[in-house]
Structure 1
Amino acid sequence: MTSSALTRPGERDRLSVKLTQIDWRFVGLLTVVTSIGAGMLFSVAKGSWDPWAAKHLIRFGVMLAVMLLLSLVHLKWWFRAAYPIYGVALLMLVGVELFGYTAMGATRWLDIGITRIQPSEIMKIGLVLALARWYHGASAQDAKFSWKLIFPIGMIAAPFLLVAHQPDLGSAMLIGLTGAAIMFMAGLSWKIIVAAGSAAVAAAVPFVLFVMHDYQRNRVLTFLNPEGDPSGNGYHIIQSKIALGSGGLLGKGYGLGSQSQLEFLPEKHTDFIFAAVSEEFGFVGSFTVLACYVAIIVIALRISSLSHSHFGRLGAAGMTATFALYVLINGAMVMGLAPVVGVPMPLLSYGGTVMATVMIGFGLVMATRVHRYAELPKGHGLI
């Protein structure tokens, strides 16, 4: 029997016992991926800690402390906060529509004086919590096929449409796909899945032609034929493919990547940092990074399966799905298998917003492990 099985319920509330329940292998993997990211940011900055690598490590140190603190928070508090967090995030998205801050042609932020907030990032966490709470109080039949599914569908559709209108196609995709993943994991009927998939395929062409903004439509058309505009819209994908392919098996060597070092690779510190990894460390380096991501996802899903509460299981699995979608979409984008939608590689790319979202989400994952025996009340009420 494990030590956790031998401790009495009251003893599990002690801080020392909670700390032993944290999966330190998981923490180690997060640290490894972030360290690789810092190393690459140092490289693409031509051997300098500024302006990216040092800040990347500092942010991770702060967010790691936040993650560990959140892991000690009992699941009942996550449960109680689920609907309020979702509601506040939704109101903030409406606020962006009314008086949001505009930059680079998009209105995605709220300017509160001392800083700017991007509500779509808060929504990525709030949506997972709210859906996990709703399904916690739903019956198996309601989750499979019922008119009551209009509630989770509405929870997903409202932020999806608001974020897509900003426009922020990358975040809208993450919100929609994360919501769909949670509905699937909750037991959604295959009939609905097939019908929804068929409808999405049928609506794809009209959506691209008549709903997307011009720059978004150009990205899709460029993805289909990047060589049609090699010095314009197709430049990002073409340079990324050159970096990926030129690395070969073992890469050109640390700090010796021509595409990134000679400024051919755009957004080398954010969206396309994985291409820089491939160029300098080749297939072996790329595979190592992806193996770390797979290990993180597998451990997190294993943690979610151990929870005694449906809220804990779906909440941890939903946060893991968000992380996995970041990796999947960015990887496909860098390889030319998906349009460029501005989704970074989590923990590897430079950027504090995505790191905060991911680490707070993993705080819930670890809280699910620490408090896996917690029993939570049923029902959909706000309290």
Structure 2
Amino acid sequence: MHLDLFAPFELGGLTLANRMVMAPMTRNRADADGCVPSLMVDHYRQRATAGLIVAESTTVSPQAVGYPFTPGLHTAAQAASWRRLTDAVHAEGGRIFVQLQHCGRVSHPSLLDGQVPVAPSALAPAGQAVTYTGPQDFVTPRALDADELPGIVDQFRRAAALAKQAGFDGIEVHAGNGYLIDQFLRDQTNHRTDAYGGSAANRMRLLNEALDAVCEQWPAERVGVRLTPENGFNSMSDSDPQGHFEYFLGQLSARGLAYAHVLEGGMATTAVSLDYRALRERFAGTYIANNGYNLARAQAAVHAGDADLVAFGTPFLANPDLVRRYRENLPLAAADPATFYGGGEAGYTDYPFHQGDAAQTRALTTQADVQAVAGPAR
């Protein structure tokens, strides 16, 4: 059977118009209360031709916040603000999941009303936190007590319930990029000796419990998981990423989830050291590949069965009509890194759609030249 990037795809009872996914990209344009402003509504509406949009990382509680001006799903006001956005995407014929997130140690007391960030173990990441007053050194997090973990799980449960009120089509649980669930999964950041540490099965316990909670609110076929097996972002590493993530994906396979969304390599590079085909084969469901894909590489991955869907980050950022541009071999706009995080319309809603025979853009590249950059995926 000939598989094509632009063919419809059935996902959890939803018909996606194509196999192109807009990857979740933190842009720091929510308001200070974690609500969605009109600017965000316009940004996502513009990109609704993607087969599936995975909305940016969305915090499940005040404790989960790790960056300024990021959206949340832990209040009724936040859910109502998201509803305007999901309604806008649906009016354009799009489908949209929300990525639920707890940043864990990747935060700062100034973002948490003075509280110390939490983690599986009291190990600080290298580098600096992004705060409202500028970069500040990361602090050593507080190791979560075992009796606190049901509360973390309940944060995901409540956020999943609010996501229904907000009109989303499904949920993506963020278990990557060095945030709380990933901190439990990888043995470099998880030094626990209780039921949540040690073996791969124990380190996966929090993810399994979060998924159980989310699946109380949503059918499993509408719940996906984001994994980043070898991403070093936020001071992450693991002693055996190939073996450990083959185990994790094998366990996830039995759940009948919507998909596994896998960052292949690291955020800052397209270099790959793991066998992602072997990882893909451990998961029986829909596999979304992500990281540095252009049109040719995405088509090849779909044709070969290496991916069912392909997620694009930076190309969607600069090209709201990316699906059309790829389908018709039109030139692409280049993204402006200076506008990735925070700000207003510039570099967010002002990238134009292709008009006629020439794209009205600030800068153009060919599709073959579009490569991964250290973009706004968080």
Q: Same fold (TM over 0.5)?
A: no
TM-score in terms of structure 2 length: 0.31
More helix, by proportion:
1
More strand, by proportion:
2
Structure possessing the higher radius of gyration over alpha carbons: 1
Greater relative contact order (CA < 8 Å, ≥ 6 in sequence): 1
